[in-house]
Amino acid sequence: MSDANVSRRRVLRGVAAGAAASGMAGEAIANTSDEVNGHVVKFEPGASTDVARRKANAVTHEFDFGEIGKAVAGEFPAEAIEGLRKNPNVQYVEEDRVKYHAYAQTVPWGIDRVDADVVHANGETGQGADIAILDTGIDSDHPDLQANIQGGRAFGDIYCGSAGGGCRFGGSPNDNTCHYEWDDDNDHGTHCAGIADAVDNSEGVVGVSNEANLWAGKVLDGCGSGSLSAIAAGIEWAADQGFDVASMSLGASSGDQTLKDAVQYAQNKGVLLVAAAGNDGPCSDCVGYPAAYSEVVAVSSTDSDDTLSDFSSTGPEVELAAPGGEIYSTIPGGYDTFSGTSMACPHVSGAGAQLMADGYTNSEARRQLKDTAEDLGLASNEQGSGLLDVEAATGGGGDNTAPSCSVVNPADGDTVSGTVTVQVDAADSEDSDDSLDVEVAIDGGTYQTASYNSTSGYYEYDWDTTGVSDGDHTVDARAIDSGGATDTSQVTVTTDNGGSGDSAPTIDTFSVSNRSNGGWARFEVDWAVSDADGDLSQVDLTLEQNGSTADSASYAVSGSSASGSDRLQDKKGSGSYDVTLTVTDSAGNTTSQTKTVTA
């Protein structure tokens, strides 16, 4: 979804099985059919999960996604699933499939290419930041990792040794000793951990960070596969522990609502989420999940000659490229060279840890990594903003004093009307007064550039307050210096323009495509909505025939714009249907459109 936080509330009459996940590039694990491992039952925010726990034969995990709501994963009798689907307090029920798979003191070429070794000398080591490697585990006694490993956890029925032996990622016949449940019995997780944060100890390799805290979230078994509930539980754990970065070198070809809820929860809790784009290349619009979610930084792979790796997935979701071809790193008991977007992902995770250690928020770190990336001349769906540049992102390391930033007009608590000139006092010891990047955002929306006024000595932005409803609103400002250091300021003001000042939302896109086949009437609906007041609230889709509702979907949305797609369907349906799109804002204004289609 673009420019909005979207949570989906839907109960379908039928749920289609997810597609099989893609394998890894290079030393790949073969594709396997998705194994159903139970179900996940998600409840409306505030609703009790007691009914699901009572009906379950076994509960494998209980999720608490805060304001998003709670869910229960487990094994349920078929009749219990049917009853839960009809429960008005249940948002959705989906199969818990084993569909997510690992993608598949020398300074490795990737560390040198993104200039991570340069910033180490200037003190940028990631010390104080916490990186969760959500993967096959981490070798707990590897000499290049042990000093940074703080602990870990295994999820669901996955633990070191649970898959048996003989399927290590690198093909070695020797299985790792399982000192802990979260130990690595595959190679993949340890390899990724070394790229992100191997110790600088004069032996083996060194990571992008080298003093961050490593945490092993074992969500994939010894053969590199994991269930939906295990992946989501690992993400929830990283958020609840307050970790700074979650590194996910794993994916599937289709998403799940439970996974979407988990990444949204983690982002809201301040976690920088980074994931491999996938190894389905050459292809287009083929980024896997969770990388394809808007809350996650999707990373493609490059080779040592700065070309796109031939195995790398691409698509509009790609935000950064990083080295992923022939990467030398740690494995249990030694070192090996692997290729994949799995190897590209932890380069970005290690860099993100350095920024988080410097005081960046997850959103600020994400923006800084993108703003300082090196343009390789590749298409945007191949490189996103460009190749990761750690030296540029951290300002070269060393002592870069953050700028100062303060909103001086309007003052906190002021009542304003009409057009207000927001004035920001910003300065920096290393940059001239007019060379800072200063931006202003209203009510947490998109930041807009504030221009330096040499007469007033302030950075200024003109805000038309008639575009928002009367009442309290926040004004945020941030100043960013040439080294990437940031300072922020916020005031709350009351707008009073003599009326509600609130306009009805707008439907920008509404298209319906007939996808009917067999005994089903199916319609693909694409939509985009916006609101000039920035107070979108809800989008509703309905499929009706002869005045009766055959299917529906509802989305909670926010901000000034949102978009999405959905499939409405009617079993054994035919003939003429009405598809209606309704968008509502927080003031209660609604706009609707209806299209008549034939199955």
Of 115-124, 128-137, 350-359, 435-444, which range is least confident? 115-124
At 166 the pLDDT is 59
**565 is known as an active-site residue:** no
* Position 325 in a domain: yes
| Residue of 450, 433, 434 lying closest to 442 (CA atoms) | 450
CATH number of the domain at 334, please: 3.40.50.200
127 and 204 together in one domain: yes
Could you give the percent of the chain with pLDDT greater than 90?
57
Beta-carbon contacts of residue 382 (< 8 Å; ≥ 6 apart): 300, 308, 312, 314, 318, 321
Same domain membership, residue 562 and residue 534 = yes
Query: How far apart (Å, rounded) are the C-alpha atoms in residues 19 and 306?
Result: 32
Q: What is the DSSP letter of 154?
A: E
Tell me: pLDDT of 2 over 90: no
Domain boundary at 352, 374, 393, which? 393
**What's the CA gap between 82 and 162, in Å, rounded?**
32
How far CA 221 is from CA of 51, 100, 162, 259, 273, in Å, comes to 31, 11, 7, 18, 21
- Is residue 3 assigned to a domain? no
> Tens digit of pLDDT for each residue in 275-290?
999 999 999 899 999 9
Identified catalytic residue from 39, 61, 188, 191: 188
Q: Is residue 426, in this structure, part of any structural domain at all? A: yes
**How many Å separate Cα 245 from the centre of its chain?**
11
Task: Look at residue 75 and tell me if it is in a domain.
Answer: no
Hunting for tokens 């104080």 — which residue is that?
128
Which CATH number does the domain housing residue 441 bear?
A: 2.60.40.10
Boundary of a domain, candidates 393, 427, 460: 393
Does 344 lie in the same domain as 307?
Answer: yes
* Pair (241, 340) in one structural domain: yes
pLDDT for 214 beyond 90: yes
Q: What pLDDT band is residue 432 in, cutting at 50, 70 and 90? A: low
Instruction: State the CB neighbour count (10 A cutoff) for residue 106.
Output: 12
CA atoms within 13 A on the CB side of 111: 27
Position 573 scores a pLDDT of 73
- Are 377 and 518 members of one domain? no
Please tell me which of 331-345, 477-491, 507-521 the model is most confident about, judged by mean pLDDT: 331-345
Contact yes or no for 471/495 (Cβ under 8 A): yes
- Residue 253 is encoded by which pair of tokens? 């070809």
pLDDT band at 173; cut points 50, 70, 90: low
Assess whether 123 and 235 both reside in one domain. Answer: yes
pLDDT, position 501: 55
Looking at per-residue pLDDT, the higher value among 25 and 598 belongs to: 598
Give the chain's mean pLDDT.
Answer: 85
Choose between 175 and 417: higher pLDDT.
417
* 335-388 tens-digit pLDDT: 999 999 999 999 999 999 999 999 899 988 999 999 899 999 999 999 999 999
Q: Which of 139-153, 178-192, 235-249, 562-576 has the lowest mean pLDDT?
A: 562-576
With CA atoms as reference, report the closest residue to 194 among 154, 269, 121, 249: 249
Last residue of a domain, one of 360, 393, 426: 393
Residue pair 288/74 in contact (Cβ under 8 Å)? The answer is no
- Confidence band of 396 (pLDDT split at 50, 70, 90): low
Q: For residue 255, is it within any domain?
A: yes
Are 414 and 349 found together in one domain?
no
For the stretch 518-571, pLDDT in tens is: 667 888 899 899 988 888 999 999 989 888 888 888 888 888 888 888 888 887
Q: Give the pLDDT of residue 121.
A: 79
Across 457-467, average pLDDT: 91
Please report how the helices 341-357 and 362-371 are oriented relative to each other, as an axis angle in degrees rounded to 10.
120
Q: What is the pLDDT of residue 131?
A: 98
User: Does 10 score more than 60 pLDDT?
Assistant: no
Write out the two tokens for 199.
């110790």
Q: Which of 342, 469, 530, 537 is an active site residue? A: 342
Q: Please state the rounded mean pLDDT for residues 127-132.
A: 96
Indicate if 429 and 385 belong to the same structural domain: no
188 is catalytic: yes
Same domain (yes/no): 117, 232: yes
Cα distance between residue 218 and residue 434, in whole Å? 49
Q: Strand pairing partners for 407?
A: 424
Q: What integer pLDDT is reported at residue 430 of this predicted model? A: 61
Number of domains in the chain: 3
Q: What is the DSSP string of 350-387?
A: HHHHHHHHTT--HHHHHHHHHHTPBP-S--HHHHTT-B
- What are the φ and ψ backbone dihedral angles of 592, each rounded to 5 degrees? -135, 150
Same domain, 459 and 571: no
Alpha helices in 418-528 (DSSP H): none
CA distance 249 to 234: 13
- In the chain, the percentage of residues whose pLDDT exceeds 70 is 87
User: Would you place residue 56 in the very low, low, confident or very high pLDDT band (cuts 50, 70, 90)?
Assistant: very high
Domain hosting residue 425, numbered range = 404-495
The verdict on residue 31 lying in a domain is: no
Q: pLDDT confidence of 7, banded at 50, 70, 90?
A: very low
| Model confidence at 23: pLDDT above 60 | no
How high is the pLDDT of residue 165?
62
Alpha carbon distance 113, 328 (integer Å): 13
Of these residues, 3, 96, 130, 135, which one is catalytic? 135
My answer on whether 454 and 334 are in the same domain is: no
Is there a domain that residue 67 lies in? no
- pLDDT (0 to 100) of residue 16: 22
The rounded distance, in Å, linking the Cα atoms of 538 and 584 is 5
Are 35 and 287 spatial neighbours (Cβ–Cβ below 8 Å)? no
- Look up 473 and say whether it is catalytic: no
Peptide bond into 410 cis (omega under 30): yes
Q: Please report which confidence band the pLDDT of residue 459 belongs to, taking 50, 70 and 90 as the band edges.
A: very high
pLDDT at position 117 is 82
CA dihedral 232, 237, 243, 249 (to 10 degrees): -30
87 in any annotated domain: no
Q: 190-194, 208-212, 360-364, 553-557: which has the minimum mean pLDDT?
A: 553-557
One domain, residues 428 and 564: no
Element (H, E) at 7: strand 7-9
